[in-house]
Structure 1
Amino acid sequence: MASAPGWSEEEKEDLLLSARYFSTGNFMRALLFVPFVIFGLTKSGWFIAGVFSVLITFHLVLTVMELYKLQLALRLVPDHDKPPVKKGPLPPTHGDWWFRPRAFETEAFYRMIGIKFFQWITTTYIQKTSISKVDRREGKKVEFVQRPNPHDLHQFELRTRVGETTHLITALFDLMPLIHAIATKSWWWLPYILWIIYGDVGCTFLQRYHRTRVWPLLTRFRERDQRKAQESA
């Protein structure tokens, strides 16, 4: 279709950014898993080779899906007449018992574990992958919260939950080759395996670090919504 009624310019831009980011991210993840397959095949870790072969296929399929979404977004003609969406109170969230920041998650704690390094790596990666070369030459940068309002802040916080869960699950998968390398005394493989685990654990904590910044604001917004609801009742 030449156009898609209901898609604004901002929504098209969000779609472009996410498609570029996730297509590159899934492809890179597939490449990083290839050595695990080689490790499994050469060290009699058939189960490991099978699991990571499935994961590579999964990420390659996601890459194709994101590239397809990118091509759709590039051809999309936004609807400039779309009226602004009237947003009500923030929707409820689930799993706060896990995702809420803990008392030990202070700025000093995150500095101690080197979170600034992961923040720099991630920011650089996002700027390089999410924005086209033309836009980068014009000085355009990614805004992590596209529009400074409670609902976009809420969406950003939800994305940190997805990112944390994804990297945490991947880190658990990474433990399989680590255990097998130790069991088979394949010491030459340890640096690569530990590097991958370090990256996933660091990215897990980075998502929690981002959440410590927005959680107080979202808490105040939700308390405001509750007061308004009580006043109107």
Structure 2
Amino acid sequence: MTDIDPHTDPEDETALDRIASASPSRLGLGRSGTRPRTASVLSFRADHAQARDAVLTHVSEETIENAGLLKVTSLVSDQDEYLARPDRGRQISEETAEQIRDACTHAPDVQIIVCDGLSSTAVEANIADLLPMLTDGFEERGFTVGTLLFVEFGRVDIMDAIGEELEADIVVNLIGERPGLNTAKSLSAYLVYGPERGKPTATKSVISNIHPDGLPAIEAGAQIVDLVATIHDQQGSGIELT
């Protein structure tokens, strides 16, 4: 009996090509005997290494400086604590609260923050294109934009603490997504109206998969600006939108 590999000698090659081209998943890779092919294993290991690097490395000071971001930090002290204590990544110290109250624009229409989240690579890959789109777009709509902030070891809900301290109408949190084996460059934009500590996640809106092979940064910028305008008009975000 001949051992036919359905991946390299499929019964319906057209169907396999159609399915494989519609998904970034590892499909139709073939095998060598009972094992994956060497090239497939090496590609998997390389992608896994990139995902680990995205989580464990830091956004460069050069990127933060070039983007004109004021750097602050959450209650987290290091990467191990960040991974083990998500709750501390949602909070800021009284010293940080005082720092931003003294250094940042008070009561802006829109406060933008950038968080490393679970992918420093995503921040490095997208911020240079995305931030100018946002600041220019908001100003064209007549919104005042707060002091741009970078939060080291930040989680999504840290936007509530910062927004509450600055009394911002709307906060946009650009945060690195948990990396996968397809890309480590994916960024999300979370938006909230009337930020305050303890604000339910359901009242936040999100635009995700911002990366070169997904939603490009420039297109994402236009979508975020439009969504902020909607949030401003309806005075609500997430499930509060109609």
Q: TM tier, shorter chain? A: under 0.3
The structure richer in strand per residue is 2
Q: Return the structure number with greater relative CO, CA threshold 8 A, min gap 6.
A: 1
- What is the TM-score when the length of structure 2 is the normalising length? 0.26
Q: Which one has the bigger helix percentage? A: 1
Q: TM-score, normalised by structure 1?
A: 0.26
